[in-house]
Amino acid sequence: MSEGDSFYVENISGDERQYTVFRSGSTAKVDLLEKSCLYRKFDLVKIPCDHAMAALRLNHGDDYGLRVYDYSSPLYKVEEYLLAYSESINVVPLKSEWRVPQELLDVNIIPPLVITKPGRKKKKCVKGVGETFKSKRRNKCSLCKRPGHKRTTCNNNKL
């Protein structure tokens, strides 16, 4: 809630449904009926994110903190939690007690052929919406002070 207090909110549709949330160069669109936000945290977690909290503040005034539960998924409510664990959960028996049909035991399943390349695996770094890409730092020669090469490969080697 405290993060959402620093946002500026504007009602774009006029029907207490869609809002545009502004904060220091970033803009997010929030739909309270669809329970969605441009940054997708509200969509995935099913709890109002800071952008949705700012929209709720504009929509409901000072008591918007109590309205969070109306816009959260019912999965987070006590009744749903108790309902999920009301039935008994069967324990899987030990592997020695399993009864597997013979035709399944006779099937020979071969794992897929995987060719691994030598060397260290490269990570795929996916930047978020608000993150910027930093440029790589270039080498600088300690002898001639020019960028693009090191002391060992310098043409002006004065040793």
State the residue for tokens 């899987």. Answer: 92
**71 belongs to a structural domain:** yes
Q: Which residue has the higher pLDDT, 58 or 105?
A: 105
Q: Which domain holds residue 26?
A: 4-75
Whole-angstrom Cα distance, residue 35 to residue 32? 5
Q: What is the distance of C-alpha 85 from the center of its chain? A: 28
CA distances from 15 to 7, 18, 112, 129 (A): 20, 7, 55, 28
How far apart CA 28 and CA 129 sit, in angstroms, is: 11
Q: Is residue 151 part of a domain?
A: no
DSSP string, 23-41: ETTEEEEEETTTTEETTSH
- Reported as a pLDDT band with limits 50, 70 and 90, residue 159 is very low
Please report whether residue 44 resides in a domain: yes
Global pTM value: 0.49
3-class SS of residue 91:
coil
Query: Residue 101 falls within a domain, yes or no?
Result: no
11 inside domain? yes
pLDDT (tens digit per residue) in 23-61 = 777 888 888 888 888 888 888 888 888 888 888 888 777
Which pLDDT band holds residue 3 (cuts at 50, 70, 90)?
low
Number of domains the chain is built from: 1
